[in-house]
Amino acid sequence: MYRVMLLLVALGALVITSTKPAQAVDVYLFRGAGDFSFVQKSLHFSRGLDKMENLLNATGIYARITRWENTATIYREISKRRPQSVAFIGHSMGAFAAMSMASKMKTLGVRVAYVGLIDIPGPIGAVSSNVEVAENFYHAFPVYGILPRPSSHKGIIANHYVFGQIHISMDDSSRIKNAMISAIWQADERDMRRQYTRSQNQKKGVNGGIDKTITASINGKAN
């Protein structure tokens, strides 16, 4: 309910700023290769990602959309913002960027709460071991199959077939947008609980056990 109220307020007077301090989950969305927004803002086919970015920012979660080639820029931003965790979403070639960024977070020590892939157009490979939840959405004729589920991975990995979609507009599917927004809200709430519990324990002088408990809860959902 509080997110609905935030959304109603934000839609009336939406203010988005890249200097907003990181609170919990920061979200980065990567467009596909058909992106000429550097010429004109509307010249790209990943329109559904724009809608996700706007909704997330309107509900208090920092979100930034960019070209699939801009991984170095996003890496530098994350290293400066130092969020508690990040989520990466990618459409088409942007899905490769999302996978690459998830792996790079190991060097920064930033948790990857969520990775959302939309119709990745090449060999997928295994999702990075530091990803808590990964979802891969594909249509009837995926170019390179689905995400493997290695037994060593401790997080959640899910593949979803989406009926009646085509590659260039698949990110605008209501099913996909709703699923990804919901997953990010859940990740944000988990991180807010982490922050609250950690602050309470610091006041009491209690150490450890927080992340293990929440990780166990995530793993329990995967079983």
92 lies in a domain? yes
Least confident of 29-33, 124-128, 192-196: 192-196
Domain that holds residue 104: 20-195
What's the average model confidence in pLDDT over 46-50?
A: 88
Q: What does the pLDDT look like over 62-90, one tens digit per residue?
A: 999 999 999 999 999 999 999 989 999 99
Instruction: For residues 218 and 155, give the distance between their C-alpha atoms in angstroms, rounded to a whole number.
Output: 7
34 lies in a domain? yes
Position 27: which residue type? Answer: V
pLDDT band with cut points at 50, 70 and 90 for residue 221: low
If you average pLDDT over every residue of the chain, what do you get? 80
What tokens were used for 46?
């990943």
Domain at 111, CATH number: 3.40.50.1820
| 207 pLDDT more than 60 | no
37 lies in a domain? yes
Share of the chain above pLDDT 90, in %: 46
pLDDT band with cut points at 50, 70 and 90 for residue 211: low
What tokens were used for 13?
């007077």
Report the alpha-carbon angle 3-29-157, nearest 5: 85
Number of structural domains found in the chain: 1
pTM above 0.75, yes or no: yes
pLDDT band with cut points at 50, 70 and 90 for residue 22: very low
136 lies in a domain? yes
54 lies in a domain? yes
203 lies in a domain? no
99 lies in a domain? yes
What tokens were used for 18?
């890249």
Counting Cα atoms < 13 Å in the Cβ hemisphere of 124 gives 27
6 lies in a domain? no
